[in-house]
Structure 1
Amino acid sequence: MTFMALTDTEQHDLRVIVEAFWGKHETANWEMNEELVAVISKMISEVKSCSQAMDLVPRPGVYLNPKDVQRELRKMARRVKEKGSSYWVCMLMGATNWKTEAARVAQGL
Structure 2
Amino acid sequence: MTFMALADTEKHDLRVIVEGFWGKHETASWEMNEELVAVLPKMISEVKSCSQAMDFVPRPGVYLNPKDVQRELRKMARRVKEKGTSYWVCMLMGATNWKTEAARVAQGL
Q: Structure 2: how far apart are the matches of 1:75 and 1:106? A: 41
Q: Normalising by the residue count of structure 2, what TM-score does the alignment of the two structures yield?
A: 0.97
Structure 1 runs not aligned, ≥5 long: none
Structure 2 runs not aligned, ≥5 long: none
Q: Normalising by the residue count of structure 1, what TM-score does the alignment of the two structures yield?
A: 0.97
Aligned residues: 109
Q: Percent identity?
A: 93
**1:76 corresponds to:** 76
Q: CA deviation at 1:12?
A: 1.0
The superposition leaves residues 73-109 of structure 1 with CA deviations (integer Å, 9 ceiling, x where unpaired) of: 0000111111111101001101110000000000000
Alpha-carbon RMSD across the aligned residues, in angstroms, is: 0.7
Q: Structure 2: how far apart are the matches of 1:45 and 1:6? A: 22
The superposition leaves residues 44-91 of structure 1 with CA deviations (integer Å, 9 ceiling, x where unpaired) of: 110010000000101111111111111000000111111111101001
Greater Cα offset, 4-13 or 66-75 = 4-13
